[in-house]
Chain A
């Protein structure tokens, strides 16, 4: 089976600062893939490189067999990539509904907007209640729902999530992971997940990659990785 998203031998960073030194990974259709590793390993840079927000020196980004390496971010979003950025990236002065509309900005998504909006409201009923509120008045948990709901508005083929559980209470994190599971099983959303909750994300994901200093150092089935001695020592202190 050909992968839905693939990056090949990517060297990328910000201006003169190289962060990724030859990163390759792939996400198959319908999969949840986790990307874990310590702070500064290049996880966020990997996601940003996939959507085209970094300087790319070498390598390719392929979405569903199409090379999108030379395409600007907005074009990649139009082709079905959606990133929920670290820190959520909510448009604070706009209303909840305006934030969600922006998620459906691309042409195809716009045509299906009303339908998608109902689906997003069914997953996050709280957003429906607060749709006319200014987004800046939302709680942290609600902001995170908005950031994910907004990404879903684009009807993404691959959803990239960067530290979505950051700053949320443990109980809320659990709910959030349940939402990820539902989106994957009921909506068929393919996901690449960057997470600090390593154990939880390995339980959720089909496969995982471990990054360190801008390189992939370990990859495999989640279950297999959970039994890996090195990973257990580093992240899964029981």
Chain B
């Protein structure tokens, strides 16, 4: 039986919303990877850890999940800076395999601490204010998802501006291209690295606050976001922020369509298939020059 057109439209809309949230997470990861060549496989697990923090704060303080971002975002910037010094910096310039092994290990630690502290069942702290639906033609729009998408988009555009139009952004792009020459320009490369790593992790905290307005957290939440982010980076290739946005939306839509039309359990498989197809036909990503 064919899916109804309204289900398809609904899935497209939900997929686009989800895609914007993905772009927020993937942009942080791509900055860390692009600027310092560091492969972080624990990126999604920081989102998971922050989501638990959102849940604890929102349920104990009886506040909106989104409001907790005021605390979690600065806190996770500091966490990111600490992780940079303790984990990333000693591994800069080392073999990718080493970086992968260590960060996968960090991810396992985070997952198991979460499992020990919160057990395996999913936790939710739905937004009271945003947990409403409104109709838009044939589509029903979840207010929380709409807000998450709009905020993600605003932040991603803001970061694009930051990268393209500020002294900090100029230093980041120079460092990404040629670290030694950036030093010759008077850029404190180490400071750039700390800031970028902190920013990347802070973005996972922001994304987790948005996610928790409609989603739930379990110890393995990080796997979907982390893996999706890497797929997005590979698809986005050298496309910069627009590339990240476009490929995030593609993966969001693919996941949403397969979830609603086939089964939620195949959404990662579907994203991986798209990934494989793109690697097969456009090995430098959708936006890279072949």
Contact = CB atoms under 8 A, between A and B. Distances in A.
Same complex origin of A and B: yes
Interface of A: 51, 53, 72-74, 77-78, 82-83, 85, 89, 91-94, 98, 101-103, 105-106, 109-110, 150, 154
Most chain A C-beta atoms within 10 Å of own C-beta, residue among B177, B185, B188: B185
Contacts of B180: 53, 85, 89
Given A77-B184, A98-B170, A91 B189 contact: no
B97 to A, nearest CB: 22
A136 B188 CA distance: 24
A150 B174 CA distance: 13
A103 B171 CA distance: 11
B245 to A, nearest CB: 19
B238 to A, nearest CB: 9
The interface residues of chain B, by DSSP majority, are classed as: helix
Contacts of B90: none
21 contacts: A53-B180, A53-B183, A73-B183, A74-B183, A74-B185, A77-B184, A85-B180, A85-B181, A89-B178, A91-B178, A91-B181, A93-B173, A94-B173, A101-B170, A102-B174, A102-B182, A105-B171, A105-B185, A106-B186, A154-B185, A154-B186
Nearest to B169: A98
A74 B181 contact: no
Nearest to A154: B186
A29 to B, nearest CB: 22
A117 to B, nearest CB: 15
Given A74-B187, A98-B170, A102-B187, 6 more contacts: A77-B184, A89-B181, A91-B178, A91-B181, A102-B171, A154-B185
Interface of B: 167, 170-171, 173-174, 177-178, 180-189
A94 B180 CA distance: 16
A110 B187 CA distance: 12
A124 B178 CA distance: 24
Most chain A C-beta atoms within 10 Å of own C-beta, residue among B170, B173, B174, B184: B184
A103 B187 CA distance: 10
Contacts of B173: 91, 93-94, 98
B124 to A, nearest CB: 44
Contacts of A102: 170-171, 174, 182, 185, 187
A85 B184 CA distance: 9
Contacts of B184: 51, 53, 73, 77, 82-83, 85, 89
A101 B182 CA distance: 12
A98 to B, nearest CB: 6
6 closest pairs, A vs B, by CB? A89-B181, A106-B186, A77-B186, A73-B183, A102-B185, A105-B186
B175 to A, nearest CB: 10
A74 B188 contact: yes
Nearest to B181: A89
A71 B247 CA distance: 43
Contacts of A73: 183-184
A77 B185 contact: yes
Contacts of B181: 85, 89, 91
B177 A94 contact: yes
B167 A110 contact: yes
B285 to A, nearest CB: 16
A85 B174 CA distance: 15
A105 B177 contact: no
Contact of A91 (B167, B174, B183, B188): B174
Contacts of B182: 102
Contacts of A98: 170, 173
Nearest to B189: A74
Nearest to A93: B177
Nearest to A90: B181
Contacts of B178: 89, 91
B197 to A, nearest CB: 18
Most chain A C-beta atoms within 10 Å of own C-beta, residue among B174, B182, B186: B186
Contacts of B188: 72, 74
Contacts of B189: 74
A64 to B, nearest CB: 17
Nearest to A53: B180
A136 to B, nearest CB: 11
Most chain A C-beta atoms within 10 Å of own C-beta, residue among B173, B178, B181: B181
Nearest to B182: A102
A110 B186 CA distance: 11
A102 B185 CA distance: 6
A109 B189 CA distance: 18
Contacts of B185: 74, 77, 102-103, 105, 150, 154
Nearest to B180: A53
Contacts of A92: 177
B51 to A, nearest CB: 36
